[in-house]
Chains A and B, each alone.
Chain A
Amino acid sequence: MTLTAETSRPSVTAAAGRVRRRRLLPRVAPYLQAAPLTVMLLLFLLVPILTIVVVSFWDYDSVRFYPDFVLTNYTELLTSPVTWKTYLNTLKYAALTWAITLGIGFTVAYFLAFHVRSTTWQMVLFLVCTIPFWTSNIIRMISWIPFLGRNGLLNSGLISAGIIDQPLEFLLFSDFSVVLAFVHLYALFMVVPIFNSMMRIDRALIEAARDGGASAAQTLWNVILPLTKPGIAIGSIFVVTLVMGDFITVRLMSGGQSASIGLMIANEISLLQYPAAAANAVVLLAVVLIMVVAMLRIVDIRKEL
């Protein structure tokens, strides 16, 4: 008897503890569950960005960088005409890539969402569009070289067809090849969100438009396009931010003949001018954030998932 009395006591407290825990757990659980992701993002995103902001006020010489509070990194950056020309060039790439990927993305998504009737085919063709996203960007860039080079497929094809007699020089290592590679790499970022938006459009709306006498073009312009805006906004945010921060595509595809802000930062990094690179990065981040906030005014991302 005494034995059971003694063993029952801990189990009573255990039960009480369990009750307390049951009341406490639901309140603490979300914090515990969100903690690993949050800690990772704080440690590897927020802290590094704060580090960049701090270092952008530091000074440097040819061998090292050291704590200080100087504005020279910013004044040198913002008063240099090279910076402004580079921003202009980067914005040009962003605008061209945005316009072309939007055109392609909308058309492809429209075809998939409204013209392919079987769901299975829809999914298969959608996957065909998205699979390159899971392969290496650098390889996808390199693969344009045998295509566009002076002796590449396109030039030799055009010459043997008698359309041109000199190889076209502008095809590779030019603004043309940079934008082409951007479109090739990032068109998916437009297709996917626009397709997602289109698939959520209630098909009854389109029938109603047709019953009301709208032509296909009118339905497209007045019904489908407005309802696809959130997808367009998300795709635009992806494409614009990816192009604005890019350095590898510009370096590889322009053959070192064009500049972008990302490339400028990468060059400063390779010269170990970290504070200058940091100031440049802070300005780039501000520009990108302003562009994103402007685009976010059109859409509430959280509603779109």
Chain B
Amino acid sequence: MNTSRRGLSFYLLGAFFTLFVLFLYGPTATILILSFQGPEGGLTFPMNGVSLHWFRNLFEQQAVGDFGGSFRRSIALGLMVMVLTVLFSVLAGFAFRRRFLGSGAIFYLAVASLIVPSILVSLGIGLFFNILGLEPSWYSSALGAHLTWTLPFGLLIVFAIFNRFNPAYEEAARDLGATPWQTVRHVVLPILLPSLIGVGLFGFTLSYDEFARTLMTAGSFNTLPLEIYGMTTNVTTPVLYALGSLTTVFSFTVIGLFFLGLILLRRRRLRRSGH
């Protein structure tokens, strides 16, 4: 491993890894290409000319239902889930730094939330709202359903962060006379900030792409994944790929922005500390 010459195993494993990456991204790349299919083209190769026909088609209201509305709803829902996930999991993370009565139970509740099949969450919340006579909607029942998926991830990430967190910084702040709130505000949160951005990324993207948990909880207005799912059963033109390409590009943009934010944050810190 530390020998300077690469052995045969390195190249074999490297080839395997490359194949794996191709396997991960290859199919997505194909639909990206096929979404530029000509107006006469079909769902598979060959390309019948190159055009933006299917992207235009996407924005014609009657063609694919309510694409714009579902897109806006998914973004709004994703942002709500993101804010609540960051806030609630960080708060809970602080709680778990001390032992308290019921901490074990809450931890197992969170783990259970990850392993309970998502269709159960969907069915359960749907039934619960039905029995109470409440109208399910994307901003209430679907929001709760998404939180059962993002909060445990958020909590586990925050646990991991606090496990690696050096309490000496806090002790130093306290010794210098900082109040508990000042310690949190000026010492703990700035150290945690990059990881919190990561929790936010999880919260937003998991919610934005969630399908199974939204199925019975979205009420009468679709989110984007529901809209796409509806299209898979009745749309047989590349307009499906156009939508797929758009949402994938959007996801990549969001991920890119988060990483850009992280890099800028790090740069600013380095400059501030005088390096």
Residues of chain A whose beta carbon lies under 8 Å from any beta carbon of chain B = 26, 29-34, 36-38, 40-49, 51-52, 55, 104, 107-108, 110-112, 114-115, 125, 128-129, 131-132, 134-140, 142-147, 149, 151-153, 156, 184, 187, 203, 206-207, 216, 237-238, 241, 244-248, 252, 262, 265-266, 269, 274, 277-278, 281, 284-285, 288-289, 292, 301-302, 305
Contact with A along B92-103 (1 / 0, CB 8 A): 101110101011
Q: State the CA gap A131–B147 with chains docked (Å).
A: 21
Residues of chain B whose beta carbon lies under 8 Å from any beta carbon of chain A = 1-2, 9-10, 13-14, 16-17, 20-21, 23-28, 30-31, 34, 43-45, 84, 87-89, 91-92, 94-96, 98, 100, 102-103, 106-107, 109-121, 123-128, 130-131, 144-145, 147-148, 151, 155-156, 159-160, 163, 201-202, 205-206, 208-209, 211-212, 215-216, 225, 228-229, 232, 240-241, 244, 247-248, 251-252, 254-255
Q: Which of B89, B98, B208, B232 has the most chain A CB within a 10 Å cutoff?
A: B232
Given contacts A31-B95, A142-B232, are A37 and B119 in contact (CB under 8 A)? Answer: no
Contact A149 B44 (CB under 8 A): yes
Q: Point out the residues of chain B lying under 8 angstroms from A277, CB to CB.
A: 123
Q: Point out the residues of chain A lying under 8 angstroms from B24, CB to CB.
A: 128-129, 132, 184, 187
Identify the 10 closest CB pairs spanning chains A and B, nearest first. Answer: A245-B117, A48-B124, A44-B144, A143-B27, A33-B95, A34-B95, A134-B205, A30-B95, A30-B100, A111-B13
Q: State the CA gap A125–B117 with chains docked (Å).
A: 30
Q: Point out the residues of chain A lying under 8 angstroms from B14, CB to CB.
A: 111, 115
Q: Point out the residues of chain A lying under 8 angstroms from B211, CB to CB.
A: 137-138, 248
Q: Which of B17, B26, B115, B254 has the most chain A CB within a 10 Å cutoff?
A: B115
25 contacts between A and B (CB under 8 A): A30-B96, A30-B103, A33-B95, A34-B96, A36-B92, A37-B92, A45-B112, A51-B128, A131-B255, A135-B247, A135-B251, A139-B28, A145-B43, A147-B27, A153-B45, A207-B2, A238-B114, A245-B116, A247-B119, A248-B211, A281-B120, A284-B117, A285-B120, A288-B116, A305-B163
In-complex Cβ contact of B144 among A33, A43, A55, A125 (8 A):
A43
Contact A36 B44 (CB under 8 A): no
Q: State the CA gap A147–B26 with chains docked (Å).
A: 9
Q: State the CA gap A53–B251 with chains docked (Å).
A: 37
Q: Point out the residues of chain B lying under 8 angstroms from A281, CB to CB.
A: 117, 119-120, 123-124
Contact B125 A139 (CB under 8 A): no
Q: State the CA gap A153–B114 with chains docked (Å).
A: 36
Instruction: Known pairs A36-B87, A40-B144, A49-B124; list 5 more (Cβ under 8 Å).
Output: A29-B94, A37-B110, A40-B147, A45-B124, A281-B124
Distance between B78 CB and nearest chain A CB, rounded to angstroms:
11
List the B residue with the shortest CB-CB distance to A52: B124
Q: State the CA gap A132–B30 with chains docked (Å).
A: 15
Distance between B104 CB and nearest chain A CB, rounded to angstroms:
9
Q: Point out the residues of chain B lying under 8 angstroms from A33, CB to CB.
A: 91-92, 94-95
Distance between A16 CB and nearest chain B CB, rounded to angstroms:
18
In-complex Cβ contact of B160 among A26, A114, A305 (8 A):
A305
Contact B100 A31 (CB under 8 A): yes
Q: State the CA gap A145–B30 with chains docked (Å).
A: 10
Contact A45 B121 (CB under 8 A): yes
Q: Point out the residues of chain A lying under 8 angstroms from B96, CB to CB.
A: 30, 34
Q: Which of A110, A301, A305 has the most chain B CB within a 10 Å cutoff?
A: A305
Contact B123 A37 (CB under 8 A): no
Distance between B208 CB and nearest chain A CB, rounded to angstroms:
8
In-complex Cβ contact of A45 among B88, B92, B116, B247 (8 A):
B116
Contact B232 A34 (CB under 8 A): no
Q: State the CA gap A248–B28 with chains docked (Å).
A: 18
Q: Point out the residues of chain A lying under 8 angstroms from B148, CB to CB.
A: 40-41, 44-45
Contact B109 A46 (CB under 8 A): yes
